[in-house]
Structure 1
């Protein structure tokens, strides 16, 4: 599996404070079946002033530590990027990294306040040739009043990343409900751990893969943790990757060909295709 949102690097943001904690998290990830991790520390002006150059240096150093200890984990670059007026300029200038140097960018909205012009900012990124991957919308305190905003963004081509622990109940019933809503409504393109700590926020994906499978089937769950994340790392265009699937229908509503599935685009247009 691929984990494309993970705070694994030591002493660079609010993730692990030291090397030993990072190594413990890396061993946990490997034991869980994760083979590739995007190291995505915060880039948050005024709080975490990380840059692509510093992140790459930290990844090189930590990859050496992993290799010396025989921990079979491949690291790629990235960042958990917060909104800023010069965001596109920073990406184009090389100060802000995308995931593995691809067209895909992790974009973290503010947790407690719906930002003005957020929809416009996301579209500006898309016009610039990027695919914004919006991180953990299910955990935002304002999701109840703005779910339609994320529906519009998904319909226009933005991607949503749901937190593994949200699907398994680590963040409570409210967040679990919204994570299942995103997954079941065909709006979750990838699942990632957003891990910060080996116990409080562990790097575990398998349980969430199984939880997603119960909602949308094993094939779509695999798409969320293997196929689409691998496509991101390889910079595959979104149109060449599988569309998201809808929640599996109750047995008495299935047609002869099996559960009904559709991309979010087809769902919003009222088109469903049986497979």
Structure 2
């Protein structure tokens, strides 16, 4: 028996999203929902409010992705994240919040990254060892492309997070296109598609969608007020400007592939559906 079958019955919003998809789970692959680890929830109560908001936004399964490296260097070890996942999931179940939690991390680019990954100190999406969320610093550009091939040789796909929110990338989005040509996946933030991060991020996010360079849309939610999940609003906006098969791929299919550890086809998402 699948242990997930023992979860409380899904909310109407979750059932609507499940009916809208061919996937068994509705997955957010990038979310800061664990308390006291980073710039996400400060307390367990804050975490519960965010998880409730995520459930109401239609998600059934959340990959919790606290920051690793960068300003949080060695502060969020993999073992502690896994322990906290169990504690928070237990509390959510006690409160009747129908949400699944899986471990992951939002990993800042670092020259030690490959060694730390090999040592088991960095977390991949859903702990599957197949996809790594890679974040660039906001202040200056560091070229991540030398990491793509070594990661791929380890069976790990690089997922570049929210490039639309970096001013230095907005000026030259062809850089993002080169990353995709080199096998990287691109994750756009749902809030960027509805203007939450300003006009620059909004325009860049829609350019990436229009060019077929957005593989995954995720919330990157941090709380239920300042940085809430905005997926339903993003889906509504996407359906006004993108074909349904592309919407399904970005918001349902590819996140589900990442949850279960399936390799995601890189390259541009083209009109022929490939």
**TM-score greater than 0.5 by the shorter chain:** yes
Deviations 1:27-69 (A, max 9, x none): 1111111111000000024535211111101101000001111
Do 1:105 and 1:132's aligned partners in 2 also have CA atoms closer than 8 Å? yes
133, 141, 144: which one aligns with 1:106: 133
1:11 and 2:7 matched? no
194, 213, 216: which one aligns with 1:187: 213
Give the secondary-structure state (helix, strand or coil) at the position aligned to 1:142.
Answer: helix
1:28 is matched with 53
1:177 is matched with 203
Do 2:157 and 2:263's aligned partners in 1 also have CA atoms closer than 8 Å? no
Q: Count the aligned residue pairs.
A: 247
Q: Distance in 2 between matches of 1:69 and 1:45?
A: 34
Q: Which aligned segments of 4 or more residues in structure 1 are displaced greater than 6 angstroms?
A: none
2:164 is matched with 138
Give the structure-1-normalised TM-score: 0.85
Between 1 and 2, higher relative CO (CA 8 Å, sep ≥ 6) is seen in: 2
2:18 is matched with none
2:146 is matched with 120
RMSD of the TM alignment (CA)?
1.7
Q: Distance in 1 between matches of 2:263 and 2:201?
A: 30
Q: Distance in 2 between matches of 1:238 and 1:45?
A: 27
Give the structure-2-normalised TM-score: 0.85
Larger mean CA deviation between 167-176 and 39-48 belongs to 39-48
Larger mean CA deviation between 7-16 and 205-214 belongs to 205-214
2:64 is matched with 39
Do 1:8 and 1:16's aligned partners in 2 also have CA atoms closer than 8 Å? yes
Deviations 1:74-96 (A, max 9, x none): 11110000011211121122110
Do 1:164 and 1:208's aligned partners in 2 also have CA atoms closer than 8 Å? yes
Structure 1 alignment gaps of length 5 or more? 247-259, 264-275
Query: Larger C-alpha radius of gyration, 1 or 2?
Result: 1
1:212 and 2:238 matched? yes
Do 1:63 and 1:74's aligned partners in 2 also have CA atoms closer than 8 Å? yes
Larger mean CA deviation between 42-51 and 131-140 belongs to 42-51
